[in-house]
């Protein structure tokens, strides 16, 4: 009888071990180490002293548990990082309080800022693109290209109170015809990096050609209202809307948009599909918006 009980207990504990191992190997995790490195992979084993990962880029890794600062679940295929700037963007991927790119909507800026050393590059199907870089925790500088021309961008932001940030900045471009475009703006953002909305005002001015004739002047005050809501670990709903005071420069008074921001861990980039709406007096004309963002 005792032999039967002992055999049963042995089989029972073996089954528990197999079940526990099966539960561990079903987890895909990212580990932040004391050195600042981030390692991601399928959790093979965790015996309290060592953690074994099957990583997508470095094979099987055995890491001392004492070196692990943080372990979080991640989307299968997420890769780790070793560089300081990549670590910063990894923090945006792994920390639920941070978004992969919260400093702007589809095009309009929010009042959120990058950390020092963080950056991103983006492009969309209209031929517009920009590169932004965190020069300090509250100052972003960058380069931009649009149908108006090419130039520089800057934004300084600060926390006004808990959950509310304000920023002011500008876009300056030399137009392709030789003139210049200057766009100062100011905004206030309410909420954290994943769920927020922004109220902004700006003035689009300048000369599209060297002649500086009245017909070439850019003179368009504008108002902007944008918002973002997180709907999953890697997806956000977004809307971006403008009211232009001078439709002679921009062909319509109102431009609206609604779409998604999707983080793709395997490709390590954001994809942003949306529909833009040009609202005229008696008609609304939709057109597609597609953009991509890469962390630097």
* 201-258 tens-digit pLDDT: 999 888 777 665 566 677 889 999 999 999 987 899 999 999 988 766 567 789 999 9
Decide: 68 and 31 in contact? Cβ < 8 Å: yes
Question: Among residues 112, 137, 139, 296, which one has the least CA distance to residue 194?
Answer: 112
Share of the chain above pLDDT 90, in %: 39
Q: Which two tokens stand for residue 48?
A: 């309290």
Topology of domain 119-295, CATH: Porin (2.40.160)
* 76-88 tens-digit pLDDT: 888 777 544 444 4
Using alpha carbons, list the distances in angstroms from residue 102 to 77, 95, 225: 23, 13, 15
- With tokens 């953690």, the residue in question is 51
* 158-203 tens-digit pLDDT: 999 999 999 999 999 998 877 888 899 999 999 999 899 999 999 9
Q: How far is CA 295 from the centre of its chain?
A: 8
Whole-number pLDDT of residue 179: 83
**Would you say residue 94 has pLDDT above 60?**
no
Q: Which two tokens stand for residue 182?
A: 């200057």
Whole-number pLDDT of residue 5: 40
Q: In the chain, what are the domain boundaries?
A: 33-80, 119-295
Segment 149-158 shows an average pLDDT of 94
User: How far apart (Å, rounded) are the C-alpha atoms in residues 235 and 218?
Assistant: 36
Q: What is the reported pTM?
A: 0.69
């Amino acid at each position: 009888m005792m032999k039967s009980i002992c055999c049963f207990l042995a089989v029972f504990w073996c089954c528990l071990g197999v079940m526990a191992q099966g539960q561990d190997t079903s987890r895909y995790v990212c580990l932040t180490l004391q050195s600042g490195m981030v390692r991601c992979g399928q959790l093979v084993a965790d015996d309290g002293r060592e953690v074994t990962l099957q990583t997508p880029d470095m094979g099987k890794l055995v890491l001392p548990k004492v070196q692990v600062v943080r372990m979080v679940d991640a989307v299968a295929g997420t890769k780790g990082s070793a560089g300081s700037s990549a670590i910063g963007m990894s923090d945006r991927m792994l920390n639920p309080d941070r978004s992969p790119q919260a400093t702007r909507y589809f095009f309009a800026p929010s009042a959120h800022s990058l950390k020092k050393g963080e950056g991103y590059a983006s492009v969309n199907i209209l031929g517009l693109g920009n590169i932004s870089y965190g020069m300090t925790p509250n100052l972003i500088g960058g380069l931009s290209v649009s149908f108006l021309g090419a130039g520089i961008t800057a934004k300084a932001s600060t926390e006004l109170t808990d959950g509310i940030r304000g920023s002011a900045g500008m876009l300056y471009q030399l137009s392709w015809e030789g003139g210049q475009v200057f766009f100062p703006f100011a905004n206030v953002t309410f909420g954290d990096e994943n769920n927020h909305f922004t109220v902004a005002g700006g003035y689009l001015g300048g000369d599209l050609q060297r002649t500086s004739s009245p017909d070439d002047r850019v003179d368009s005050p504008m108002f902007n209202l944008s918002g973002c809501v997180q709907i999953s670990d890697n997806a956000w709903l977004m809307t971006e809307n403008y009211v232009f005071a001078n439709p002679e420069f921009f062909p319509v008074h109102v431009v609206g948009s609604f779409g998604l921001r999707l983080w793709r861990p395997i490709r390590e980039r954001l994809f942003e599909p949306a529909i833009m709406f040009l609202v005229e007096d008696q008609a609304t004309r939709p057109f597609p918006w597609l953009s991509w963002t890469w962390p630097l």
